[in-house]
Amino acid sequence: GENVEQHPSTLSVQEGDSAVIKCTYSDSASNYFPWYKQELGKRPQLIIDIRSNVGEKKDQRIAVTLNKTAKHFSLHITETQPEDSAVYFCAASEGNNDMRFGAGTRLTVKP
Scan residues 75-104 and list those touching other proteins (CB under 8 A): 89, 91, 93, 95-104
H-helix or E-strand spanning residue 25: strand 19-25
Q: How far is the CB of 101 from other proteins (least distance, A)?
A: 3
| Nearer to other proteins (CB atom), residue 33 or residue 77 | 33
C-alpha distances (whole Å) from 18 to each of 6, 13, 62, 75, 98 are 18, 7, 10, 10, 31
- We find the least distance from the C-beta atom of residue 92 to other proteins, in angstroms, to be 10
User: Residue type for 47, please?
Assistant: I
Residue selected from 32, 71, 78, 108 as contacting other proteins according to rule CB under 8 A: 32
